[in-house]
Amino acid sequence: MFSSDRVNALLKKYNVLVVTADSTDGDPIIQKDMNRADRKSLPTNLIYPADATKSAIMLPEYLTPEIVIKAIELAANQ
């Protein structure tokens, strides 16, 4: 999914599941997650820590490898 070897290495290291959701059909599950994140528009980029008691980390619409790496490491250390 990502062209950055550094990002892909971290995804593998932390066993990250990458999910891409399409809300074209108005899927209520996607809308529920967007509401939980207080987002109204797409794309919405979130990283959820393994600890379900922790909040999702909101990423900007436009991603760079550095942004994704920082968020993965933050989620891994929560």
75 and 17 in contact (C-beta within 8 Å)? no
pLDDT at 34: 84
Query: For 23-72, how does the pLDDT look when each residue is reduced to its tens digit (9 = 90+)?
Result: 888 888 888 888 888 888 888 889 989 888 988 899 998 999 999 999 99
45 and 60 in contact (C-beta within 8 Å)? yes
Distance separating alpha carbons of residues 75 and 51, to the nearest angstrom: 9
Query: How many domains in the chain?
Result: 1
pLDDT at 44: 86
* 7 CB burial (10 A radius; 0-12, 13-18, 19+): buried
Cβ atoms < 10 Å from Cβ of 30? 16
What residue numbers bound the domain in which 39 lies?
A: 5-76
